[in-house]
A and B are shown apart, each in its own frame.
Chain A
Amino acid sequence: MKLRIAVEGLGACAGCEIAILDLHEEIVSLLQDLEIDYAPILVDKKSLNDNVDVLLLSGSVRNRHDVEEAVRLSEKAKTTIAFGSCASFGGIPGLANLYATGELLERVYLNTESTDNKERTLPSEEVPPLEPVVKPLKEWIKINYNIPGCPPQPKLIKEMFQMLLNGKPVTLSKKTVCDECDLKREEKKITRILRWGEGEPDSSRCLLEQGYFCAGPATRAGCEAKCLAALMPCRGCMGPPENVTDQGARMVSAIASLVAIDEKNRVDPEQLVTMFKDVVGSLYRFTFPSSIIPRRVSEGKSK
């Protein structure tokens, strides 16, 4: 009996499904033991009617349709996996939690630089309403495992399938991206925070120690630090490491320990704050909906 798999994307870009195809030839040998029964982007089947062994759900839960689809499909699966960072933590769409729904609709449909909407119409008919905030999938349905990554790395997907086929629990690395990164650390203190594209990075040294904002210390390993191998700072897509709830808080600790505080090069707290263009967006790029305070609040509302 083959392991029957269903794959569905909610509010997302379909990159996670394509990442399954990035297994290339290896998918052929995997398909001897598993069967992709339903996956709108990969196989031609219109709806999932039968029960399956494993459901891979990717994408964020952005509107009512996503909620209903997640509930309906998960009832047909023995094991449900939040597949990718959006499903696991809320992902990039979760940064919309910094704005009220009305503000989002106005920006997107009325006020972007390229908008041509003279009647100022907002979508109202035959589209599912937006949920007030994006929440990780686990707050809507029972999730057995998370497979993070934007998208999950093919190696991780292969390991996941192997663990499922062997009837083992799906486990993730307990290390951080820094543990997998080959760049050299020298315990140097930093005096500035750079964004990608500013200056020329030294291709042998730790990017964070060169001042580039790299989320490696606050991010789970499992991606083999591929971005770093291409000298691209980590953006944190694998989410917080084991036993860390709040990725941003962990990253702030790493930065605070790294900035210079000696007499000569000292970075004052006020200076440090101005080095960040977008604090929440940098610290919680993929995990804002699963952070401790996962949405914007408004002061004075309850008074």
Chain B
Amino acid sequence: MLPETFEPYIVGFLCNWCGYAGADLAGTSRIQYPPNLRAIRLMCSGRVDLTFILTALKRGADGVLVVGCHPGDCHYINGNLRTERRVALLKKMLSDLGLDDRRVRLEWISASEGERFAAVVKGFVEEIRALGPNPIEGNTNET
């Protein structure tokens, strides 16, 4: 049975140098954004193995947000570009598996873009809310 109101459960993989710093700036600037995001800090968006995203979806995440540095700004030169290509293939794979590929989103957010971080999270939560719960059977929202 579904709960009365659906609250999206979102897992975020944020790179240490841009995405996470952007989230930090949003926090210290007291910008409000929805609490649906569970942020996981990684050193680089290039560390995001598709296994992470697939496992998050399998275990019941309704959406997965990957945040890295803007192209050209990657602390490790091109980790973000590698992940951009991985995520592109993943989205095609998710469509073939019957999932809406909008459940996974890749964004570039720099350390100075606290406002933008909040706006992206807000937009993504609303998009996933409209999509509805993750349809993978047997998943649990328990942490």
Contacts and interface: CB of A to CB of B under 8 A. Distances in A.
B97 A280 contact: yes
7 contacts: A253-B86, A256-B82, A279-B92, A279-B96, A298-B98, A299-B131, A303-B132
A297 B88 contact: no
A269 B71 CA distance: 13
B88 A270 contact: yes
Given A303-B132, A303-B133, A292 B96 contact: no
Contacts of B55: 292
Contacts, number: 95
Nearest to A275: B89
A259 B91 CA distance: 18
Interface residues of A, number: 34
A296 B50 contact: no
A190 to B, nearest CB: 12
Interface in A271-303: 272-273, 276, 279-280, 283, 291-293, 295-303
Nearest 5 Cβ contacts at the A-B interface: A269-B88, A249-B50, A292-B54, A256-B85, A296-B98
B89 A252 contact: yes
Interface of A: 98, 245-246, 248-250, 252-253, 255-257, 259, 261, 267, 269-270, 272-273, 276, 279-280, 283, 291-293, 295-303
Given A298-B98, A299-B98, A246 B51 contact: yes
A270 B51 CA distance: 21
Interface string B7-39: 000000000000000000000000000000000
A249 B51 contact: yes
B82 A280 contact: no
B133 A293 contact: no
A101 to B, nearest CB: 15
